[in-house]
């Protein structure tokens, strides 16, 4: 009888190779997801059951996750290839549907909504330092129908109350030596002035609305030039630009002037007389906001002339010029009242701001700042002439004007005063060109992708666009664009204390907080940085003798600078300074006499 053979039983020690491979796949994927969460949120810092969990860097877990996936790919090459092929097929089908299902206009709408939401959610909504308080104080002044202001002293203080000493940040003495003239151009304040008729908070909506308009116009200009996909991509990249986001959350003129110039260009590329007239109006508003960019209006007028490919329309250019003239005349009239001449500005003589010697340092700084904040991809706009010459005859003149506009904005600031190496925020001066830079950088790739299958185009374009968006958002977060509102709270808190707690005869001795105190508290101010270094004690005593109560409203660092500036001559005043309140690093001191 044949004996039945019983197979030997294998004893397994530990998980099978397949399970180990699956575990490594899972670990790698989870660690990569974790690193993405850390990169997006800036880290975690939790305490659970007395145990503190803290993680700030995403690079280490990302490296670990990639290492796990690499080990798996090498150890199980056949499965890795099969999985990659399946994922590629699935991604192609998904991207094909997504590419065909989401029109470029939908992408632009999302980018526009993001810009509006970011401006509203992360906005400082504060009259803080020199620029924001200067613009808001001027807007409130214009809302009252005035172009110059008064010192707010109930009665003169002989010998110590010169106009410079009584002018807050953003103001300077008017030609009569008594009234105070706003330093900044009137265009942006004129946009905010009507909002003061609604409430004091309404003016803070102007910049977010202008930001949303600028993003949408980036798309609209691309569509009008026949580059709808490039316009949508440029709108997205503009909406996440670190420079754009940093200015979007502050009440300053950089985003409004960008929206005004983009609106002028968009209207200029229309083909009706009405759009040409409106383009001139928009260009006039842009000049009121930033007068030194007046030469850009020539490109807007040229765009009005060449927008119709059939023939040049000089009538449209003439209409655009005519509608821009009133804004230029109004600017000259306001500057004559404020500074004594239509050719003068609150920034002083032109020779103090622009010089040929500044071109070299700025050629080093601006390109480096732009690449550091926007990646080298934005520099591709410089190569636009290579493909513009191959563009169709109808759109070629307009593409040339768009490129020249971006170049002209850059050239306008090369002779401008140059800044320190770390002052990347002054890329804000180039903001009117940044949407056009992105449009010109993206357009040739969009044309090439149009010749491929939609799924292939999406598979190539989507990862690049998403990568640039992530890099831009991270760069903006690292530069505190989303945290500025936290640091600006001290201005409103200190000013509210001055207006609500200090006596009616208070005089705020300040510099950094002078503009915010002027806006919120409406008490007289004395700029300590304009007081004679040998006469601080005498100046404050004179104010006290005339019925005023001096109070210091300064940051801690400012107080130290006061000690350095005035030295032993001011030791009595600063020694008598009695702390009353603190808001962040903002301090309020009483000076007893």
Q: How many domains does the chain have?
A: 3
State whether 144 and 212 are in the same domain.
Answer: no
* Res 98: pLDDT: 46
Please indicate, yes or no, if residue 390 is contained in any of the structural domains. yes
Q: Is residue 239 part of a domain?
A: yes
Are residue 70 and residue 111 in the same domain, yes or no? no
Is 266 within a domain? yes
* pLDDT value for 99: 47
Confidence (pLDDT) at 66: 78
pLDDT value for 1: 45
In a domain, 545, yes or no: yes
For 417-473, the DSSP string reads PP--TT-GGGGGGGGGGHHHHHHHHHHHHHHHHHTS-HHHHHHHHHHHHHHHHHHHH
Distance CA 53, CA 37 (A): 15
Structure tokens belonging to residue 153: 């002293």
Task: Tell me, yes or no, whether 335 and 216 share the same domain.
Answer: yes
For residues 260 and 378, state if they share a domain.
Answer: yes
Residues 247 and 298 in one domain: yes
Expressed as residue numbers, the domain containing 35 is: 17-101
Asked whether residue 303 falls in the same domain as residue 394, the answer is yes
For residues 119 and 249, the answer to whether their CB atoms sit within 8 Å is: yes
The answer to the question of residue 9 being in a domain is no
Pairing of strands 171-173, 180-182: antiparallel
**Burial degree of 159 (CB within 10 A; 0-12, 13-18, 19+):** exposed
The percent helix, strand, coil of the chain (3-state, each to 5) is: 65, 10, 25
Nearest to 123 by CA among 425, 489, 428, 485: 485
In order along the chain (593 residues), what is the average pLDDT of each group of 10 residues? 48 59 75 72 59 70 78 70 59 48 83 96 93 96 94 77 84 90 97 94 97 98 92 96 98 98 96 94 98 96 85 86 96 95 85 87 93 94 92 84 97 87 90 98 86 64 87 94 93 95 94 96 92 87 89 94 82 85 95 80
360 part of a folded domain: yes
Classify residue 313: in a domain, yes or no.
yes
Torsions phi, psi for 48 (to 5 deg): -120, 115
Pair (426, 385) in one structural domain: yes
For residue 181, the cross-strand partners are 172
Are residues 188 and 221 located together in one domain of the fold?
no
The residue from 431, 456, 482 where one domain ends is 482
Last residue of a domain, one of 454, 482, 510: 482
Other beta carbons less than 10 A from residue 176's beta carbon: 10
Q: Which residues of 58-73 are buried (b: 16+ CB within 10 A; e: fewer)?
A: beebbebbeebbeebb
CA distances from 61 to 43, 55, 263, 351 (A): 12, 10, 45, 54
* Segment 67-123, tens digit of pLDDT: 877 777 777 666 666 665 665 555 555 444 444 456 889 899 999 999 999 999 999
pTM of the complete model beyond 0.85? no
Question: What residues contact 327, with CB distance under 8 A and at least 6 apart?
Answer: 281, 283, 284, 285, 287, 288
pLDDT of amino acid 207: 98
Looking at residue 455, its pLDDT comes to 57
pLDDT score at 45 = 61
55 and 185, same domain (yes or no) = no
Is residue 378 in a domain?
Answer: yes
pLDDT at residue 15, as a whole number: 57
- Is 139 found in the same domain as 23? no
Q: Which of 431, 451, 482 is the last residue of a domain?
A: 482
Shared-domain flag, residues 492 and 571: yes
- pLDDT tens for 464-508 read 888 999 999 999 999 999 999 999 999 999 999 999 999 999 999
Tell me: do 263 and 409 sit in the same domain: yes
């Amino acid at each position: 009888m044949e004996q039945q053979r019983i197979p030997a039983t294998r004893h397994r020690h530990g998980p099978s190779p397949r399970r180990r491979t699956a575990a490594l796949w899972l670990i790698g994927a989870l660690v990569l997801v974790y690193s993405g969460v850390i990169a997006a949120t800036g880290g975690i810092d939790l305490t659970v059951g007395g145990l503190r969990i803290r993680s700030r860097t995403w690079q280490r877990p990302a490296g670990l996750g990639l290492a796990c996936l690499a080990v798996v790919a090498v150890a199980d090459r056949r499965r890795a290839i099969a999985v990659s092929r399946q994922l590629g097929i699935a991604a192609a089908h998904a991207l094909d549907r997504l590419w065909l299902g989401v029109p470029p206009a939908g992408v632009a709408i999302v980018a526009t909504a993001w810009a509006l939401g970011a401006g509203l959610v992360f906005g400082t909504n504060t009259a803080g330092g020199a620029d924001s308080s200067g613009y808001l104080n001027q807007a409130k002044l214009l809302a009252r129908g005035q172009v110059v202001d008064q010192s707010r002293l109930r009665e003169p203080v002989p010998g110590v109350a010169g106009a410079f000493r009584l002018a807050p940040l953003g103001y300077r003495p008017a030609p009569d030596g008594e009234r105070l003239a706003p330093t900044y151009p009137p265009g942006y304040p004129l946009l905010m002035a009507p909002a003061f008729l609604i409430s004091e908070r309404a003016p803070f909506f102007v910049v977010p609305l202008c930001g949303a308009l600028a993003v949408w116009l980036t798309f609209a200009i691309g569509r009008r030039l026949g580059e709808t996909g490039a316009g949508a991509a440029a709108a997205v990249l503009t909406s996440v630009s670190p420079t754009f986001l940093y200015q979007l959350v502050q009440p300053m003129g950089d985003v409004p002037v960008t929206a005004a110039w983009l609106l002028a260009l968009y209207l200029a590329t229309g083909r009706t007389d009405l759009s040409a007239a409106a383009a001139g109006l928009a260009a006039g508003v842009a000049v009121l906001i930033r007068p030194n960019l007046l030469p850009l209006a020539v490109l807007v007028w040229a765009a009005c002339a060449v927008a119709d490919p059939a023939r040049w329309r000089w009538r449209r250019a003439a209409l655009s010029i005519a509608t821009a003239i009133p804004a230029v005349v109004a600017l000259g009239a306001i500057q004559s009242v404020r500074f004594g001449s239509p050719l003068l500005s609150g920034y002083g003589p032109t020779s103090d701001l622009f010089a040929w010697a500044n071109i070299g340092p700025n050629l080093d700084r601006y390109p480096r700042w732009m690449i550091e904040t926007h990646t080298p991809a934005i520099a591709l706009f410089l190569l636009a002439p290579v493909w513009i010459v191959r563009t169709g005859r109808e759109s070629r003149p307009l593409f040339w004007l768009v490129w020249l506009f971006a170049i002209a904005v850059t050239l306008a600031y090369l002779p401008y005063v140059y800044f320190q190496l770390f002052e990347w925020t002054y890329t804000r001066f180039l903001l009117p060109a940044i949407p056009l830079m992105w449009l010109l950088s993206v357009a040739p790739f969009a044309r090439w992708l149009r010749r491929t299958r939609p799924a292939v185009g999406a598979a190539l374009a989507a990862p690049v666009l998403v990568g640039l968006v992530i890099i831009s958002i991270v760069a903006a977060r690292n530069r505190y664009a989303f945290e500025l509102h936290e640091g600006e709270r001290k201005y409103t808190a200190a000013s509210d204390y001055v207006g609500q707690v200090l006596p009616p005869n208070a005089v705020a001795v300040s510099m950094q907080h002078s503009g915010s105190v002027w806006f919120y508290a409406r008490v007289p101010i004395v700029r300590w940085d304009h007081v004679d270094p040998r006469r601080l004690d005498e100046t404050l005593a004179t104010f006290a003798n005339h019925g005023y109560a001096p109070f210091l409203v300064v940051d801690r660092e400012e107080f130290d600078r006061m000690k350095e500036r005035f030295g032993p001559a001011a030791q009595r005043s600063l020694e008598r300074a009695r702390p009353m309140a603190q808001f962040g690093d903002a301090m309020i001191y009483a000076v007893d006499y």
